[in-house]
Every structure is written in structure tokens, then in C-alpha cells.
Amino acid sequence: MSTRPFHVPVVDIAAYVGSGTAEQRAEVATEIDAACREVGFIQILGHGIGSATVAGLGEAIDAFFGLPLEEKKRWIRPPGENRGYTAPKSESLSLSLGVESATRMNDFFEAFNVGRRVGDYPGVALIEEHYADNTWPDLPGFEAAVSAWFEEAARVARTMTRIFADALGLPATYFDELTRHSIDVLRMNNYALPEGTDVELDGDLTGMGEHTDFGIVTILWADQVRGLQVLGHDRAWHDVSPVDGALLINLGDLTARLTNEQWLSTLHRVKPPVVDGTIQRRRSAAFFHDGNADAVIGPLASCIDAGHPALYEPVTVDEHVRAKLSGSRVGVLNTAAVREGARVLGAEVGAAT
């Protein structure tokens, strides 16, 4: 077991956002490579998202989640569409890893999802299930503010994959081919119990169960409130909060597959603290950049050798995402997530010893 202290590196990516020199970009790529190999989570500065866009997102989140629970339930969509409102205790993220929770569908967070639509990719033959139309609540300014954040987060995601290509010694356009009609979803989360929600405030309360993200890269904005926990090499959970102005970046399962686990898709969960018998409110917005639904992802030849045999068979993004969503949103245990599920069970063993 590793004895390295847990730390989420802070990397300034401004050289890739502005007009950095080749030497500056190479330094950034080296720092990102190290973070991806050692932690799988990164804090980035220099991302170029303005304060007005950040403020607009926060105001939109507050406006929607401040509505009465019954009003928000108007915006629930069928689970397979991955759009609209998710009420508390209607998901269990651990099922997406093939791990049976003590209580099914027990995560108390609530969420609202929007994503890329079929109409965003004209003339492309798509697996339409992943590109459903959005539902916008009739709140003044909500759609405009959320859409502005969505596009900025998408830009940052593309910047990160450009850095990934350099860090892995791939052609600069490598990820472009995998993401031309990417499944992109923005999930806005609220960790606070709405009025009328019944849950016992005990030590095992879970805001969002342990999970890995599905796709290539996640761009996360979050409050500086405790709750996000990341699994370290020591098999222990560590609190993570962003430094001022930073976005949190983490890798998804598809990047772990692509790199044959030389880069990490790190397990994480959310357990907001209970203060004076009340859950301390925490907000976040995760932009998932998952790749083309029809793209085939398998380990890169450069990541396979005698000491690193291929750990995965190739899989389409569609097959992978469909299995994960069936676990978290429909309640079907994901039996394909053998390696990820073993890490969850290893973390439980580590906590018990």
C-alpha cells in the first residue's frame, strides 16, 4: 500500500488557453500527465471562464433548487433520457460500478441535467438515445445562464483533451476524432434535503455514492464546502475542495481504458457534513465529456507492453454509458464494471482494517 500523502495538484493551463509558448505548453502537459498517473484529479487555474458566467451558473442553480419539491418534480424525465430533474433518493451511483448498496436508490442529492441534442450535430447518424432534447424550467434567465456555462465547460473539456494528447504523445487532433459528436451532459447537483424529503441523519448518510465517471473527462465547478471525497492510494477517503477560482478535473472510465489504467479514473463520493442536525448545503455542476456514442475505445498500443498487458477489450461509448446509466438511474447492477467494483470493495476493506 502506498504511503504517499494524498494531494490534488493545482495546474495553471493558461498556456493552452492563450498564446503560450511550446515550452510552456510542454511544462503544462508534463504536470497534467503526472497528476493523471498519480491521482486522477486535478485542480486547474487559467481556464478562462469569466466571473460573470460563474455567477450566472450559481444563480440558476439557486433559482431552480429553491423551488418547492412538487414543482421540481414536474421536470422529471424517463431515466433513459438522462435529462431533466432527479429527485432525492432516486439514484444509487454505486450500482453503476456493480456494487450493491445497503439501500437501493439511497443517494440523497437532487440534480438537473441538460446535454447535447440531435439538432446540435446536423447530418450525423446518431444513436439518438444519448442526444435527447432538453427540458428547460420556466425560470427567467435559467436557460441562458446554464447554456453559457455549458459552452464554456465544453471549451475547457476540449482544451483538456488537447493537453491529454500532448501528454500521451498522440497527434494533436487525436481526441477530436473521438468527440466530433460527443455525448456531453451537464449535471447540476444540490446536496440539501428539500422540504418533504424523509431521510435519517446518521453517520452513513450518502449524498452521492462511490462511483467513477463514465467518459473521457469531467469539468467540475463546486462550492468550497466539504463533502467531495476522493479515494487515495492508501484506500482511504480524502476530502477535496477547490482552491479559489479553480475547477476540478477528473478522468472517466473511458480514459482509464484508453491508457490501460496508466491514468486513473478515480473513485469519488459526496458526503456533506451534518451540522446541528442539518445537512450543510453544497452545490456542484459536473460537465461530462464522454465522446461519440459510436466511438470504439480500447487500450492504446503505446500503453501496452510486456509489463502492462491489455486490461480491457474494446467497447463502444454507447455500450459503456448505457450499462453505467442502467445501474445508477434504473437500478440494474452493472456486471461489466468488474475492475471498478473491485476498487470499491478494496476501499471498504481498507476502511475496516
Task: Give pLDDT tens digits for 136-169.
Answer: 999 999 999 999 999 999 999 999 999 999 999 9
Q: Which residues pair with 228 in a beta bridge?
A: 226, 270
Query: Does 1 map to a domain?
Result: no
Q: Residue 143 class from Cβ within 10 Å (0-12 exposed, 13-18 middle, 19+ buried)?
A: middle
Position 96 in a domain: yes
Q: Which of 88, 124, 120 is nearest to 106 (CA)?
A: 88
Q: Is the pLDDT of residue 61 over 50?
A: yes
Q: For residue 173, what are the domain limits?
A: 10-352
Tell me whether residue 5 is in a domain.
no
- In a domain, residue 14? The reply is yes
pLDDT of residue 98: 45
Q: With 60 as the cut, is the pLDDT of residue 1 above it? A: no
Question: What digits encode the pLDDT tens for the residues 282-326?
Answer: 999 999 999 999 999 999 999 999 999 999 999 999 999 888 777
pLDDT at 322: 86
310 within a domain of the structure (yes/no): yes
pLDDT band (50, 70, 90) for residue 205 = low
Kindly report the CATH number assigned to the domain that includes residue 88: 2.60.120.330
Please give the residue that has the higher pLDDT: either 113 or 107: 113
2-41 pLDDT per residue, tens: 456 789 999 999 999 998 999 999 999 999 999 999 999 9
So what's the pLDDT on residue 197? 52
- Helix residue ranges per DSSP H, 249-315: 253-258
Q: Looking at per-residue confidence, does 209 or 18 come out higher?
A: 18
Kindly state the DSSP code that residue 6 receives in the 8-state scheme.
Answer: P
CA 281/CA 302 separation, integer angstroms: 44
Q: Is 223 helix (H, G, I), strand (E, B) or coil?
A: coil
Q: Select the more confidently predicted residue: 274 or 43.
A: 43
- Coil, strand or helix: which one is 43? strand
Residue 158 lies in a domain: yes
Q: How many domains does the chain have?
A: 1
3-state secondary structure 320-352: HHHHHHHHHCCCCCCCCCHHHHHHHHHHHHHHH
Q: How far apart are CA 53 and CA 8, in angstroms?
A: 25
Q: How far apart are CA 265 and CA 347, in angstroms?
A: 15
Query: What pLDDT score does 81 carry?
Result: 87
**Partners of 229 in the beta sheet?**
239, 269
